[in-house]
Amino acid sequence: MKVLQFPLARITIGFVLGILSAYYCNPIPELVFGSLLVAFVSLCFCYFWSVKKTYNSLFFGINTAFLSFCIGATALIVHTDSFQKSNYIHNTSLFEKDHLIRVTIREKLKNSVTNYRYIALIEQVNQQKQTGKIVLNIRKDSLNLPFEIGTNLQIKGTLYPNNPPNNPNQFDYSKYLANKQIYAQIYANADAIQKGSKLEKDIWYYTARLRTKIIRNLEKNHFHKTELDVAVALILGQQQDISPEIIRDYQYAGAVHILSVSGLHIGFILMFLTAVLKPIPNTRKGSFIKLLLILISLWLFGILAGLAPSVVRSVTMFSFVAIGNHLRRSVNIYHTLLVSILLILLFQPTFLFDVGFQLSYVALFFIVWLQPLLAGIWIPKNKVLTYIWDIITVTFAAQIGTFPLSIYYFHQFPGLFFATNLVVIPLLSLIMILGVVVMLLAALNCVPYFLSKALEWSIFYLNKIINTIASLEQFIIHDIAFNWYFMMSFYLLIVSCILWFKKPSFNKLIGVGIAIIITQIVVLENQWKIQNEHEWIVFNAKKTTLITERKGKQVTVFAADNVLKTASKNNVLTTYLVGNYSTLTAKKKLGNIAYFKGEKILIVDSLCSFPKDISPDILVLTQSARLNLERVLHTMKPKMVVADGSNFKSLLKIWKATCQQQKIPFHATAEKGFYRLQ
């Protein structure tokens, strides 16, 4: 791959590896800073040595790669809030009792059923300076209207740390928040909140005000709510108010990427700006004015869209494209991608772990690398056919590149993504151009009715098309089991096949064969591992009891009758089955006695009807069983007590204290997550 021969590519790879090592290894900051100093001194020594003597490119290259690695690790540590002494994560008392916490609202999140949700910046705790981001949840029934961005609040409350998922193979929301430098949440009612008299009028405040102004002006034009929510997502990058049904339709149709502002959207905007500024003469001064206006417009749009990772990446990349056009030079797209990656990750290293960031760059790389090869397979003579063929090849290249990554994260595949993109991309170009014009006019309090209605009807028909395609669920493959090793082996196979396809040779054919063998080994090793596993799990299910036993790929579920009837639709159980490549083979009503690998398990529910002379190894308490636990423990002497999510919290505290007195381990799934026997 010629791209790997670019010095910038090797520097970027070293930089990214440095970020990854610091993220997963969690090294001591002093060690990282010391390594950075050593790398810098070593590179300087290497440079001066090469000036005086024969140049040693290998030694210089190794030093450069090591320095890039250290810079990557340093960048992550410097930009990780938890390493700062002023961050609230170091104040453990905040998680134990109420404090007076002063915050500033920075960003509005998607509301839950009961709460308004925001990202807020902590300013002070009990009049002492403290920093850090939190998720702020405010009860809807205690507050009529949401707060503005920039509002100062003083809240009396306790912080709650982000907990890992309570059931196996579930999405780790706490890790997702930690990647955004958010380590806790706070819940508050109106009586615990005191609103400040001043607003924090920074760039976030003004962009939020502008978005609100645009939305209100469109609402005055009787813009339908459903279409308005989609328009705000497509043009302004704000997805908070889109209904779950609309998002699901776009996911099933393979078009969810257009709801997040990305390179496709910024590309349309750049084309629109270039067309609008065409009357400016291409003199030296005129060209510079064009460039300046384009860069300002792109970054103002990025700020307006909330500076999401996909927006920052796209605006950065197309800024370099615009600069290259201004300099009258052929822009090397690989260099553009690499420079944008370096710049973005230098200031926001945690963007590397954002799913949208990963998908965007992988899609762009494969479009640039693979699409020209696919386009050369057939050269249509008709302009319409050429346009359609270009859409097909771009879509296919992006889909091939993102296929393993999207299956790994989302475990589903939309089979009609070709048909969707053939229709959606031409319509989206019209919507983007029309949408930018309408939004600009709305910001100026002047929205012609015919333009707003044209935009509304365009989005209405877009939603209709997406809904029609999504309704063909037989083309949607759900619940695909796929792990990290599968993803990497599939990428190895895809890359080796493309390398051979671009320029066939015997050595590259051997590479394809090796990739196939590695993929088969990964699949067989995974099957062997799953087949030899045997586990018994108590899940953390609210207000109910859910227990499974898995032997290889066969899973038996134990639960009450009402739970067994809907077991195939239970999200907790479905996620577990997909994560373990298993199928539900049996459903059994939950009894009082169970056995697992010689362990005797007693399950006690609210009826408390169980054999009194039994001596279980494990005691499982469910349905808030009313029993004298101290007497039961003294009589039965179990090795472990487990309480699932169907129990009252007040009882869990009592049971925990009782077990501590008896020196018997106690596992509450609501606190520690699911319980597993292997």
Q: Do strands 593-596 and 599-604 pair parallel, antiparallel, or not at all (unpaired)? A: antiparallel
Q: What is the distance between the alpha carbons of residues 335 and 9, in angstroms, rounded to a whole number? A: 8
pLDDT at 1: 52
Strands 583-589 and 554-559: parallel
Residue 182, helix vs strand vs coil? strand
**Cα separations (Å) of 629 from 248, 552, 619?**
47, 35, 10
- The closest alpha carbon to 157, from 126, 133, 183, 121, belongs to 126
Angle at 564 between CA 563 and CA 569, to 5 degrees: 80
Per DSSP, 90 falls in state G
pLDDT, tens only, 653-678: 999 999 999 899 999 999 899 999 98
Cβ-based neighbours of 601, under 8 Å, separated by 6 or more: 536, 593, 594, 595, 616, 617, 618, 619, 620
- Interatomic CA distance for residues 297 and 270, integer angstroms: 9
Q: How confident is the model at residue 536 (pLDDT cuts 50, 70, 90)?
A: very high
- For the stretch 145-186, pLDDT in tens is 778 888 899 999 899 998 889 999 888 889 999 988 999 999
CATH 1.10.730.10 applies to domain 88-201: no
* Contact present, 311 and 302 (Cβ < 8 Å): yes
Tell me if 342 sits within 8 A of 322, measured CB to CB. no
Average pLDDT, rounded, for the chain: 86
Domain regions of the chain by residue span: 2-78, 88-201, 354-414, 484-525, 534-677
Of 264, 262, 267, 502, residue with least CA distance to 369: 502
- Produce one character per residue of 130-152: b if its CB has 16 or more CB atoms within 10 Å, e if not: bbbbbbbbbeeeeeeeebebbbb
Which residue type does 525 have? E
* Confidence band for 519, pLDDT divided at 50, 70 and 90: very high
> Residue 443: in which H helix or E strand, if any?
helix 417-443
pLDDT for position 69: 92
Cα-Cα end-to-end distance for the chain: 45
Task: State yes or no: pLDDT of 307 exceeds 80.
Answer: no
Yes or no: say if 115 and 161 are a contact pair by the CB < 8 Å rule. Answer: no
Instruction: Write down how long the chain is.
Output: 678
pLDDT of residue 322 exceeding 90: no
